Amino acid sequence: MQARSCFAILLLLPGLPAVIHAQAPQSAEKSRAPARRNLEVEDYFRIQEVSDPQISPEGKWVAYKVTTHNRAKDTNEDHLWMVPSPGGDAVLLTSSRGCAGHPRWSPDEKYLAFIRYQTCNSETDIDTNTGGQLWLMNRAGGEPEQLTHTPKDLSDIAWAPSSDRLVLVLRDTVEDTTGASFGEDLDRADEARPHPWVIDRLHFKEDGIGYLDHRRTHLYVFTIADRKIIQITSGDYDDVEPAWSPDGRLIAFVSNRSENPDSNYNSGIWVVAAENSDRGKSLRGISPGAYIDDSPVWSPDGQTIAFTRQLDLRLMERATIHLAVAPAAGGEAKLLTRSLDRNVLSPRFGPDGRSIYFLYESDGAQHLASIPAGGGDISLSISGRRKVDAFSISKDGLIAATISEPAIPKEVYALPVHGSLRRITKTNDASLSGIQLGELEYVQFKSSDDTPIAGYICKPPGYTVEKKYPAILWAHGGPVLEYFAEFEFRAQLFAANGYVVILPNPRGSSGYGQDFSASTFAGWGGKDVEDDLAAVDFAVAQGFADPARLGVGGHSYGAILTNWIITKTDRFKAAISYAGNLVNTSNFGHDEYSREWATEVGLPWEKRELWESLSPFSGITHVKTPTLVIGGDTDWNAPIINSEQLYQSLKWLGVPTVLVVYPGETHEISRPSFVKDYYQRYLFWFGHYVKGEGPAIPAATISVEGEDPATVLTALTHFR
């Protein structure tokens, strides 16, 4: 059935059964549950990711995005769905043409606007979608309509309160910044006419994008009636996160408008007139200062702007993210959560303006809370051992949120003003109904210096205390991240294959306060490694883990810790290093982090000893652990040179090692066939060296269903 008829029929005649079901009903003969099995690699492609819940203004419907990993096409796809807020059948809104995301209801409830992309990459930790255009779906029925045809990439949209306009965040083309006649051709990556990159910026590279020029993101007002686009901000700055004032006259946004934005993190909240005639040359700063301000939202009366603020620029992401409010006319900001000392995310005013809702992370969970708009006690709306990922609020205060729990991937939930939390989507119920998952247990223990540390242990299905299990320490990335009480496919896959999985939140993690997070500042491979190893000691002491069968691994900063760990101990029988660092000086001027390096560690020619002491390469001759090394060849976060150097070092040292490089992949490997490949390699590598079972390398090559085998560059020759 076409998305058009689904949208119109369900909205106008909700009693009709002609809808697309998120889960097919089972017949009476099949109601008896079959024997459950353990999770397999192929289940990754059956599990879908739900995100960006947007409740309609009147609170009757929730639109959301669903990401699927299509094995047949070897691509990731994003589509929009919606579900009645009381629960019921979910309806597919967008077809298979490209990827759709960012659904936003018009305030008058007549339209659903969204962005459709020519290409999308749903697995990255940054937005690398390209070719975005504005589309509109009319609630009265009809096909979705494309409203913009601009060569500029569209990344964000927000409705005006009057529902006749939207503000768009568009990225410049080359022609916008240079006036070159070939600008549009270059912006479309015309391979027949390559052009040199001319770089003059201090911050000159980003993962998923590549080299940076002076193409910036700016704000544009789009009028639906005449399709006119008017630029309202300009300059050599990136302007993002627009938010309309309730009267529709002003737009608040985030921008670093310091003298040299590439050299610092001093983002601020600014306000510009929506009918601006000078492209934003006349701006008003909201509570200016040397802070990292983000996520502005207006109070319903238009008098106050709430936003998030980090106070210490030097600590960067290690500084606690607070909730702040400031007069919309400008003035001193007030911190509302100074005593909380936990990261605050996604502030939203309640419908009456008396309270502000927000997410905050704490001790391996993420909650939804609220606080009086003038300050006061914090009230929890959704808490417990779960992760509230995102939320929106209707005019009558009904909350829609995406939530994950250890045995349930993210789904949409509804929370009435006076009522209890209820799940309203069942996106993955059918896919997981026959699978027995491992139990995720929250644990606390002491590090070697008696510092309290927490984390999780994921046990194999059918776990019994009478048995000691092979165990895998999997270090999280970041470093300013944490493990949450949520569904985690990798941990469940390891558990399904008989491993106890150790998931600690060592010092440097978020969720435990600024001092805890900042304790590893310019101290990588020290306290964080001690805490991770203490987690293994705890698992062994509790009888969870067999000390003779241990593995270690991680991605990004987790791979950095893995590289450190194998230089300090040979207790692990195998290691997997996925996109980590090895020789830090090799990264300066090559990765995307020159500002971060200079701020945290100092310039390498001034702090050479510190740079070398923070490099796992300093202890490389101590490594005895067989190590699988993987990465993407266009990763500018942790460039592949690190993986190559680790592989070459271990090769020369005679340590069993394999290097797998995935072509066209960035920091997060996302192509479905490649994801299948690395999960299979994980299991073979640990199976051989930790369990002593089978070969270390899978015999089969990558294949895409119905297509020729894809190519993976794998260093397998002379395997030791």
- pLDDT of residue 701 exceeding 70, the answer is no
Identify the H or E element spanning 428: none
Q: For the domain that residue 575 is a member of, what is the CATH number?
A: 3.40.50.1820
d(CA 97, CA 90): 20
Beta bridge partners of 79: 66
The answer to whether the beta carbons of residues 373 and 453 sit under 8 Å apart is: no
Which residue is listed with tokens 């299905």?
461
If one compares 125 and 599, the residue with the highest pLDDT of the two is 599
CA-to-CA distance for 459 and 468, rounded, in angstroms? 11
Q: Is the predicted pLDDT of residue 443 greater than 80, yes or no?
A: yes
Angular region, 654: left φ>0, alpha ψ -120 to 50, beta rest? left
Q: Residue 34: what pLDDT? A: 64
pLDDT at 24: 33
Q: What is the mean pLDDT of residues 291-300?
A: 97
Whether residue 463 lies inside any domain: the answer is: yes
At 35 the pLDDT is 80
Give the CA dihedral 327, 330, 334, 337, nearest 10 degrees.
80
In a domain, 404, yes or no: no
Mean pLDDT, residues 88-94 taken together: 93
**pLDDT given at position 120:** 67
DSSP 3-state of 399 = strand
pLDDT confidence of residue 121: 60
Omega before 300 within 30 of 0, i.e. cis: no
Q: What torsion, rounded to 10 degrees, do the Cα atoms 45, 50, 51, 54 define?
A: 150
Mean pLDDT, residues 551-563: 98
Whether residue 710 contacts residue 630, with contact meaning beta carbons closer than 8 Å, is answered with no
Query: Is 507 strand, coil or helix?
Result: coil
Q: Is the pLDDT of residue 550 over 50?
A: yes
* pLDDT at residue number 95: 76
Lowest mean pLDDT of 38-42, 117-121, 352-356, 527-531, name the range: 117-121
- In-domain check, residue 519: yes
- Condensed to tens digits (0 to 9), the pLDDT of residues 463-476 reads 999 999 999 999 99
User: Is the predicted pLDDT of residue 574 greater than 90, yes or no?
Assistant: yes
Res 97: pLDDT: 66
In the predicted model, what is the mean pLDDT of residues 710-714?
Answer: 41
Q: What CA–CA distance (Å, rounded) separates 478 from 508?
A: 9
pLDDT for 703 equals 42
Measured at the alpha carbon of residue 535, what is the angle toward residues 366 and 319, in degrees to the nearest 5? 45
Task: Give me the pLDDT at residue 195, please.
Answer: 81
What digits encode the pLDDT tens for the residues 148-179? 999 999 999 999 999 999 999 999 987 666 55
Q: Is the pLDDT of residue 42 over 50?
A: yes
Single-letter amino acid, residue 560? I
In a domain, 260, yes or no: no
The angle at the Cα of 131, spanning 202 to 596, to the nearest 5 degrees, equals: 25
From the centroid of its chain, how far is CA 609?
Answer: 34
112 sits in which H/E element: strand 111-117
Look at the chain and count its residues: 720
Q: What is the structure's pLDDT at 177?
A: 65
**Percent of the chain at pLDDT exceeding 90:** 78
Q: What is the mean pLDDT of residues 236-251?
A: 97
Exposed / middle / buried, residue 202 (Cβ in 10 Å: 0-12, 13-18, 19+) = middle
Which of the two residues, 422 and 706, has the higher pLDDT score?
422
**Can you list the alpha helix ranges (DSSP code H) found in 113-232?**
174-178, 183-187
| CB contact at 8 A, 586 and 641 | yes
Q: What percent of the chain has pLDDT over 70?
A: 88
Q: What is the pLDDT of residues 383-438, one digit of tens each?
A: 999 999 999 999 999 999 999 999 999 999 999 999 999 999 999 999 999 999 99
DSSP for 258-318, written as a single string: SS-GGG----EEEEEETT-SSTT-S-EEES-SSSEEEEEEE-TTSSEEEEEEES-TTTGGG
pLDDT tops 80 at residue 281: no
In this structure, the number of other CB atoms found within 10 A of the CB of residue 581 comes to 29
Where is average pLDDT lowest: 262-276, 352-366, 654-668? Answer: 262-276
Q: How far apart are CA 207 and CA 592, in angstroms?
A: 7
- Give me the number of domains the chain comprises: 1
Structural domain contains residue 13:
no
pLDDT at 139: 84
Q: Is the pLDDT of residue 720 over 50?
A: no
Residue 243's φ and ψ, nearest 5 degrees, are -145, 125
Residues 6+ apart with CB under 8 A from 192: none
The tens digit of pLDDT for each residue in 127-142 reads: 455 679 999 999 877 8
Q: Is residue 448 part of a domain?
A: yes
Q: Which range of residues forms the domain containing residue 485?
A: 438-715
Give the span between the Cα atoms of 415 and 258, in whole angstroms: 41
* Mean pLDDT rounded to a whole number for the chain: 89
Instruction: Kindly report, residue by residue over 601-627, the tens digit of the pLDDT.
Output: 999 999 999 999 999 999 999 999 999
pLDDT of residue 279: 78
Q: Is the pLDDT of residue 563 over 60?
A: yes
Three-class secondary structure of residue 199 per DSSP? coil
pTM of the model: 0.90
> What is the predicted pLDDT for the residue at 64?
98
500-544 confidence digits (pLDDT tens) = 999 999 999 999 999 999 999 999 999 999 999 999 999 999 999
